[in-house]
Structure 1
Amino acid sequence: MTDVLRLKPGPHRILEGAPWAYRGELYHSNLQPGSIVALEESNGRFVGRGFFNPASLIAFRLLTRNVHDVIDDHWFQARVGEAARLRFELLKDREAYRVVNSEADQLPGLIVDKYGPMLVMEILSLGLQPFRQAIVEALVDIYHPQGIYERGDVAVRAKEGLPREDQLLYGTLVSPVTIQENGVSLTIDVAGGQKTGHFLDQYANRKRTAELAGGKEVFDAFCHTGAFGLLCAKYGAKHVIGIDIDERAIARAQENARQNGLEQHMEFVTANAFDWLRQESDKGPQYDLGILDPPAFTKSKDAVAGALRGYKEINLRGMKLIKPGGILVTSSCSYHISETQFIEVIRDAAKDAKRPVKILEIRGQGLDHPMAPGLPESRYLKCLVCAVD
C-alpha cells in the first residue's frame, strides 16, 4: 500500500504541469524520507506518485501521473530505456551526449552522460538510491559500457541526505577518455573534471560559433578545457586565446590543442576571466569574435541581482573587445535568470559600452537536454549570437 501525501488547499504549480512540490505546499507528514508516495489534492483527488523527502525544500518529486503505474525496478529500467531510445533516434552517431536529463525524462534527480565507452551518473535525489542497481543494469544492457562512474561529491546530495562520494559502479574506470566532437578530438576527465567532465549542452552552439570563426581573431573567456576555441581553430580561425582560472582545465585545453595539431593557432592563459576582460578591454577593440561561457553566477533566487551585475560586467567588457562588425557569442547557464532578463543584460551592457548590438540568434541547450514544459527552470541555457557594430 502506497503512503499518501496531501497538498494544502490553494493553487499549486504541480497541478499546472510542474514536476515537483515544495515542502510548504504539503501537510507535514511522518513518512519515510526517500519513500515513494501518492500525492493527492486537498479534496483527495489523485495527482501522481513520486519521491518524498521532507529534508529537501523540494519535498515531492513527481515520477508519474498515471494512477495505475507500479514504481519498481522495471519501471525505472523502462524509463531509462525510453530516454536512451530517444537519443539513439535524434543523435545518430554522436559518441558523447546526455542519456538521462532528470525531470525532463521523468527521472527526477538522475543525470547520465555518455563519453564514448564511459557512462557518468549523478544521483541527486534520495528516492533514487534503492533503484540505483536497477538503473545500472539497464544502462549496461543498452550501452555495454567499459565502465559506469558515479560523480557524487556535490553539495546537493548532502541536502538530500546522501553521502558525498565518487565511486565506480560497474566495470573499469577509463579517465581521461577521448571523444570526437564535430571533427575535434577532446580528452575528458570524467573522474575529476567539472560536472561530469564536459559541458555537453553547448555541443550545437560550439559548432555554430565555429562556423562564424573562419579567418578571425577569437577570444574564449571561461574556456574550461577549450572546446569552443578548439572548434573555432579547426574551422579556420586565425588565432584563438582561451582564458580560465582553473589551471587543470587550462592544462587539459593545451593538451587538446596539441593532439589536434592546432597549438600554432591557439594560446591559453590561466587567469581570472573578469580581470582579463577588464584589462584587455581598456586597450580597445582587438577581436573579431568573442565567446563568453561562464559558470552559473547564481544557484539561488536570493543572488540574482548580483549575478545580473556580473553578467553585465563581462558582456560590457566583451563588447568593448570586439572590432566593429564583429560577433559576440554569450551564454548564461543560471536557471534563475530568464531569457528576458539575459537579453536585458545585453541591452544594458551595449548602452554602457556605447556599442550598437543586434541579436542574430537566440539559442539554448541541445536535443539531448530536453526541457519539461511545466518547468521553465529546465530551460536553463541561454546562448545569444550578437553582432557588435
Structure 2
Amino acid sequence: MNRRGFVAGSLRLKTGPHRVLEGAPWVYRGEMYHADLTPGTVVELTEVNGRFVGKGFFNPASLIAFRLLTRDVHDVIDGAWFRRRVRDAAQMRQDLLGHKDAYRVVNSEADQLPGLIVDKYGPMLVVEILSLGLVPFTADIVEELVAIFQPQGIYERGDVPVRTKEGLPRTNRMLFGTMVSPVHIIENDVVMLVDLADGQKTGHFLDQYPNRRRTGELAAGRRVFDAFCHTGGFGLTAAKHGAQSVIGIDIDENAVARAQENAAANGLNQVEFLTANAFDWLRKESEKGPQYDLGILDPPAFTKSKDTVAGAIRGYKEINLRGIKLLKPGGILVTSSCSYHMSEAQFIEVVRDAAKDAKRVVKILEIRGQGLDHPMLPGLPESRYLKCLVCYVS
C-alpha cells in the first residue's frame, strides 16, 4: 500500500494524442507500454513523462486493454470502493426516476463501473459482467445490490460474446436468491411480461422507455404500424393511449408470442401481431399506398463496426423509405437507430434521402435518445448510441 492505494502494476502511454487524456475511459492495447501483468488486475496508468492519469482494469486479451475506474490518485480500489460506486449509481436513478418499476441501475463506464450492467425488473435484478477485472469484486457488488433493493433474486446473464474476448465463461447463473422469470413490470401504464432468462439483452429494451411514452402521447385516434416490434413495447403503449388500431411485425416468433400475451394482459383488443420479415412486410404494404397515421421503426443494430456502415445506411434508408410511403399526410414517423457507428448526422441524412425518394416532405419534430437511466459520458461518444427521430410527414 502507498499513497496511491494498492495497484498490481503500471502502464505507460506511448507518445502521441490519446482519448483518455481528453475524458475517454478507454485505452487501446497499441497505445501503451506494459510489462507482463496479470489480466484483470487493477493497474496505474501514467503519461509518457510519468504524470498520473488514473487507475483501472488491465486486460491485454481485449482490444480495449485499459478501462478507467478513477482519476483520483488517492482512491483505493477495493470492495468498499465498488460498493460506493454502486450505491451512487442507484441513488441517482432513485432521485431521477422515483419508484419506476423497471430501469437500468448501473450503466457501465457512465457510472465509473466499466463492464458492469445492472437492470431492475420489479423484484428481480439482472446483471451483466463484461470485464474480467470485475470478478474479484462481484461478491461486494451483489451484497450492495441486496442491501439497496432487497430483491427476490439477482440473475447473471453471461451468455454474451464479449465475455469470450475478456476470458470469461459464457454461462448464466443465479448470484442471489431465487429466479422469477418471466416477470411482470409496468412501463408507461402498460403491463409487460419480461423473459429474463432467454429474452434479448437482459430481457427488455429499457433504453427506449421515454420514446415509447412519447409515442403514446401522439397515438390517440391513429392507425399505427410497429415494425421490428419485439415484445410490443411501442405498439402496446400506443394502443394503451388511445390508438385506433395497431399492427406489430417481428421475425422472432417467440417475441411475437410474448407481444400477444402482453396485449391480452392489458386487454388491448385493437392490437394485432404478426410473425414476418419486417423488410418484406414494409415493402409489400407500402406498395398499397398510404394507410397509417403513425409509424414506428425500431430495428436491431444494422452495423456493429465501421466496415459495415455503408450496408447499414442502405438498410435504414429502405425501411424509412417504406415507412414514409405508408403514412398518410399528417402522419407521424418515430424512427430509431441503436447503431453507434451510425452517427446522428448520418441518420438524419438517411431520413432526408428516404423522404426525397418517397417524394414526401418530412419535418423533424424532435431528436431524442436513451432514457435518464442510460447516462452518457461527454468524453465517450460511444455511450450515446441511441438515436430516435419524431417526424411529421406531409
**What's the TM-score, normalizing by structure 1?**
0.99
TM-superposed deviation, 1:83: 0.2
2:122 & 2:254 partners in 1: Cα distance? 22
Letter in 1 for 2:149: Y
Q: Does 1:151 align with 2:195?
A: no
The one-character-per-residue Cα deviations of 1:208-245 (angstroms, maximum 9, x if unpaired) are 00111111100000000001110110111010000001
SS in structure 1 of the partner of residue 376 of structure 2: coil
Following superposition of structure 1 onto structure 2, how do residues 241-320 of structure 1 map, counting pairs within 5 Å? 241-262=247-268, 264-320=269-325
Q: Which residue of the partner structure matches residue 120 of structure 2? A: 114
Equivalent residue letter for 2:342 = I
Q: Determine if the alignment matches structure 1 residue 218 to structure 2 residue 217.
A: no
Counterpart of 2:180 in 1: which secondary structure? coil
8 Å CA contact 2:317–2:351 kept in 1: the answer is: yes
In 2, the alpha carbon distance for the partners of 1:30 and 1:78 equals 31
How many angstroms apart in 1 are the aligned matches of 2:61 and 2:278?
37
User: The residue matched to 2:142 in structure 1 has which SS?
Assistant: helix
Question: Structure 1 residue 77 and structure 2 residue 83: aligned?
Answer: yes
Q: Answer yes or no: is the 8 Å Cα contact 2:10–2:34 preserved in 1.
A: no
**1:27 match: secondary structure:** strand
Aligned mates of 1:205, 1:339 — CA distance in 2: 16
Letter in 2 for 1:288: D
Distance in 2 of aligned mates of 1:70 and 1:210: 47
1:1-389 counterparts in 2 under 5 A? 2=7, 3-262=9-268, 264-389=269-394
Report how far residue 28 of structure 1 moved: 4.2
- What TM-score do you get using the length of structure 2 for normalisation? 0.98
Report the AA paired with residue 45 of structure 1. Answer: R
1:29 positional shift:
2.9
Instruction: After TM superposition, give the deviation of residue 325 of structure 1 in Å.
Output: 1.1
Please list the CA deviations of residues 17-76 of structure 1 after superposition, one character each: whole Å capped at 9, or x if unmatched: 000111111114311111110000011100000001111110100000000000000000
Whole-angstrom CA distance in 2 between matches of 1:210 and 1:38: 48
Gaps of 5+ in 1: none
Aligned residues: 388
> How big is the alpha-carbon RMSD for the aligned residues of Structure 1 and Structure 2?
0.7
Would you say the 8 A contact 2:230–2:255 is kept in 1? yes
**Using the alignment, how far apart are the partners of 1:299 and 1:160 within structure 2?**
18
* Separation in 1, partners of 2:163, 2:105: 21
| Identity among equivalent pairs (%) | 77
- Once the two structures are superposed, residues 126-160 of structure 1 have per-residue CA deviations (whole angstroms, 9 ceiling, x without a partner) of 11111111100010000000000000101000011
User: Structure 1 CA distance, aligned partners of 2:129 and 2:182?
Assistant: 22
Deviations 1:284-320 (A, max 9, x none): 1110000000111111111111111111111111111
Q: Deviations over 1:237-273 (max 9, x none)?
A: 01000000111100000000001000x2000000111
- Structure 1: how far apart are the matches of 2:377 and 2:324? 33
Cα distance, 1:283 vs. partner? 1.1
Match of 2:345, SS state, is: helix
Paired amino acid for 2:41: S
